[in-house]
Amino acid sequence: MSIFENKKDVIIAGSGLGGLVCGYILAKNGYHVSIFEKNQQIGGCLQTFVRKGVKFDTGMHYIGSLDEGQLMHRLFKYLNLWEDVRLSPLDREGYDVISIGGDIYKYANGIDGFVEALAAKFPDNRDDIRRYVTGLREIVEASFIYNLQRTSPDMTFDESAHSISFNDYINSCTDNPKLRSVLTANAFLYAAEKDKTPVYTLAHLNNFYLPSAYRIVGGSDTIAFSLAKSIKKLGGQIYSNAEIAEFICNEDKMTKIRLKDGRVFEAKYFISNIHPQVTIEKIKSPLLRDVYRQRIEGIDNTVSCFTVYLVFRKNSVKYNNYNFYFYDSEQSVGKTQYDLTRFPESYLYVHQADSEKNEYASRAKVLTFMRYDDVRLWENSTVGRRGVVYEAFKRDCAEKIIDKLNRQFPGIKDCIADYYTSSPLTFRDYTATVDGSMYGIIRDKNSPLQSRISQRTKIPNFYFTGQNINSHGMLGVIVSAISTASEFVQIDKVLSDIQNI
């Protein structure tokens, strides 16, 4: 028996940002949507956790383009997020602060601001810096999302921007090796692979933060809860603790899902916000041919991370309204691989905002890359039951990170009241990504079509959405959700609704 009364029903697997935005757009346009989430808490990378009364974000560090009239401001308005989400602005003269071998550099908002901030350190390379930032803007302007207008039948793919690596692009802008390193320094945001990651990824992420940058006040879960509230108001349903064990098909199409607890639900259409490699393991139907399965299974994934969540003693640490990227040396920049004996060679240090204006930080997180192989020994364990050796491994990693942070910010170690950690296994278990991958599949400029996953699948009523479609990050995932929703609702209508909201 169907859980719905009409025939225009959509089941969405996974309540990450892609699933929620896709669900909101469809519900807003008359579809009865039901979202199924395996965890107690919805949100995917928007999830938070609380320890001893202190809340931590897990995946969404900061958001760009949120000033009045800017792209994300309009998207927030369309998604009805301004009712619930509060923001704290980052420093416009240096929203990202970068330390490379002890030298400090800043990324500032605006094209002119960005150029001037770096030209202060590289006065002979002013033209190179402007060439870099204006070139990225040109790439973004060719995308449909920038002007909220259709630019091509396939809204998510610009072959030229996918066939050049970000590294080759940066090298073409300047021959100054130190400036090249500085322009690569926010690679944490996309787990850059120098010989693979296309300039498209760099352009969309950097241009996202260039106009303005903000932190979310009170936790990234406010975005998930706001979207869920709107979906329910529009007649949708959200099921927590509802892990999908299998997607079931007949000889022609997908017909139902079976949950891990045995319940079965039917619908006319299905969308998966779960990683495609994890999703296809749940589909036994021959409608997905071996060649398609093999292509999806053969795509590499981005590296994972190890995170230390810090609780500060009250009024002991001044609030940083910037993100701090640290690298031991120029050789450490843009590296996702590392030597454990020198761990960590780099990290991203981020304070969290308690209000719109903050004098002191109550908490922070420090992230560094970590290979899944470093925790593979415990891959068959579950959260909270991995054993004393694993806990000792995490403690050792955390202490190394804190010691290195203390060298950059002397005395901060004494300000830490407590700390918590997460590893690639944590990320894997809470977000259902392969090997705890931070950003899903690797986009490879050497095989752009082969490393691209379409929202359409070989099953006619089954679609993908999320960070593995188009790109990751807040903007990339919303774009993927719009692309998936356009299989149901005219894309021109969606874009017009966003423009005219």
| 244 bridge partner residues | 259
> How much helix, strand and coil, in percent to the nearest 5, is found in the chain?
35, 20, 40
Q: Which whole number is the average pLDDT over 433-437?
A: 93
Output the pLDDT for position 151: 53
Q: Helix or strand or coil: residue 465?
A: coil
Q: Which whole number is the average pLDDT over 392-401?
A: 97
Task: For residues 88 and 169, give the distance between their C-alpha atoms in angstroms, rounded to a whole number.
Answer: 33
Domains detected in the chain: 9-50+57-86+218-299+439-500 (3.50.50.60), 87-215+301-436 (3.90.660)
C-beta separation of 194 from 162 below 8 A: no
pLDDT at 37 over 80: yes
More confident call, 155 vs 355 = 355
Confidence of residue 5 (pLDDT cuts 50, 70, 90): very low
- At 458, list the tokens: 């070989």
pLDDT at 161 over 80: no
Average pLDDT, the chain: 92
Task: For residues 134 and 114, give the distance between their C-alpha atoms in angstroms, rounded to a whole number.
Answer: 11
pLDDT at 148 over 90: no
- At 386, list the tokens: 């991995």
Output the pLDDT for position 3: 44
Output the pLDDT for position 311: 98
Output the pLDDT for position 158: 58
Confidence of residue 142 (pLDDT cuts 50, 70, 90): confident
Q: Helix or strand or coil: residue 204?
A: helix
Maximum CA extent, the chain: 71
Q: How far is CA 228 from CA 22, 37, 237, 406, 454, in A?
A: 11, 12, 9, 40, 26
C-beta separation of 129 from 117 below 8 A: no
Q: Which whole number is the average pLDDT over 266-270?
A: 97
Q: Which whole number is the average pLDDT over 289-304?
A: 94
Structure confidence by residue, pLDDT tens digits, 98-125: 999 999 999 999 999 999 999 999 999 9
Task: For residues 48 and 55, give the distance between their C-alpha atoms in angstroms, rounded to a whole number.
Answer: 7
- The neighbour count for residue 397, using CB atoms within 10 Å, is 22
% of the chain surpassing 90 pLDDT:
80
Confidence of residue 45 (pLDDT cuts 50, 70, 90): very high
Q: Which whole number is the average pLDDT over 445-457?
A: 84
Phi and psi, residue 186, nearest 5°: -95, 30
Output the pLDDT for position 211: 96
Least confident residue range of 130-134, 341-345, 484-488 = 341-345
C-beta separation of 14 from 36 below 8 A: yes
Task: For residues 337 and 276, give the distance between their C-alpha atoms in angstroms, rounded to a whole number.
Answer: 25
Output the pLDDT for position 292: 94
| E strand map for 175-236 | 213-216
Tracing tokens 């830490």 back to the chain, one arrives at 416
